[in-house]
Structure 1
Amino acid sequence: MTRMVQFNSPFLLGFDEMERLLERVAKGSDGYPPYNVEDAVAVDGGTQRRVLRITLAVAGFAADELSVTVEENQLVIRGRQREEEGRVYLHRGIAARQFQRAFVLADGIEVLHARLDNGLLAIDLARPEPSKVVRKITIVDGAS
């Protein structure tokens, strides 16, 4: 993989970590399991809240065969099915394969909850409200 040159600009200072994140994301994965990312509305205790919802198609996985963790600034979803002893397959078209899918989270993103329903694992993420901070920098006169 060639190194990205977009971050070599002298106007982009301190973006080394972002460059590493983009390189990690660019490596990609095999596309399993398929997923959606949507802008959704979650209802919590009667109040509505805008969330990002990641939905993964994990048919065949039980809740105890899935794990959702936040590691540093990544949301990591892992699945591992247990092999059932004593089964003899004449044809096996449904693979019992393990997976790991990772999503890089921006600073301030909070994982609210994960729910497994009808083979779909939905994970709701809260985006922080953007705040505009303007800070005036005092200029010290070096001549005096």
Structure 2
Amino acid sequence: MNSVDLSPLYRSSIGFDRLASLIDSALASDASSSAYPPYNIEVLDESRYAISVAVAGFSQDDLEIQVEKGVLSVKGHRGQSDERTYLYQGIANRSFERKFNLADYVEVTGADLSNGLLTISLVKEVPEAMKPKSIPINQTQKALSHQSQEKEVKNDKAA
């Protein structure tokens, strides 16, 4: 696989280093990441999301969820299984770590383990200071000053 050189992006932009790092890590991990365990990312509404991870065979004690520096990590650690003899073993019995990069202002609000699915709830809470604001255009003041200037011009012409 060809690698992409992001150094021009680093030296010609300021304040976008997190974005460049995300792109760099996505390109690096895309080639090396496995498909285990499978997961879904669901949009529930404009500001709510859910990540469902298939963790069949894992108990609540086997799972760990952690958020650090905008990265959500889901880890599954399987203890030593009792010595069983399988004719066929199709259920994966290995530890895993799955990472998700979270956008700014996305917070994890909870997690639920049910029917072999670990569902992690997320919400995007943009602070009021960061939300777009509508700025009213004050036309009455300009209109009044414009009208008074027109009257002065008319009065000057009449005199």
Q: Is the pair's TM-score, using the shorter chain for normalization, greater than 0.5?
A: yes
Q: Which residue of 2 aligns with 1:33?
A: 37
Q: Find the structure with the greater CA-based Rg.
A: 2
| TM, length-normalised to structure 2 | 0.69
Q: Percent identity?
A: 37
Whole-angstrom distance in 2 between the partners of 1:6 and 1:77 = 33
Instruction: String of CA shifts for 1:77-131, please: whole Å, max 9, x gaps.
Output: 0001122233233433323111100011112111000000100110010112460
AA aligned to 2:80 is: E
Matched, 1:111 2:111: no
Matched, 1:131 2:134: no
Runs of 4+ in 1 over 4 A off after TM superposition: none
Greater alpha carbon shift after TM alignment, 120-129 vs 81-90: 81-90
* CA RMSD in angstroms, aligned pairs only: 2.4
Q: Which residue of 1 aligns with 2:5?
A: 3
SS at match of 2:92: coil
Whole-angstrom distance in 1 between the partners of 2:81 and 2:6 = 46
Q: Which residue of 1 aligns with 2:62?
A: 65
* Alignment of structure 1 residues 33-52 onto 2, 5 Å: 33-40=37-44, 50-52=47-49
Structure 1 residues 62, 36: CA separation in 2 closer, same or farther (over 3 Å shift)?
same
Give the CA deviation at 1:21. 1.6
Matched-pair contact (CA < 8 Å) for 2:10–2:17: no
Matched-pair contact (CA < 8 Å) for 1:37–1:54: yes
Greater alpha carbon shift after TM alignment, 114-123 vs 77-86: 77-86
SS at match of 1:22: helix
Q: Which residue of 1 aligns with 2:147?
A: none
Q: Which residue of 2 aligns with 1:94?
A: 91
Would you say how many aligned residue pairs link Structure 1 and Structure 2?
126
Q: Which residue of 1 aligns with 2:18?
A: 17
Structure 1 residues 133, 54: CA separation in 2 closer, same or farther (over 3 Å shift)?
same
Structure 2 runs not aligned, ≥5 long: 135-159
Matched-pair contact (CA < 8 Å) for 1:75–1:104: yes
Give the CA deviation at 1:133. 6.2
AA aligned to 2:108 is: V
AA aligned to 2:71 is: Q
Give the CA deviation at 1:35. 0.8
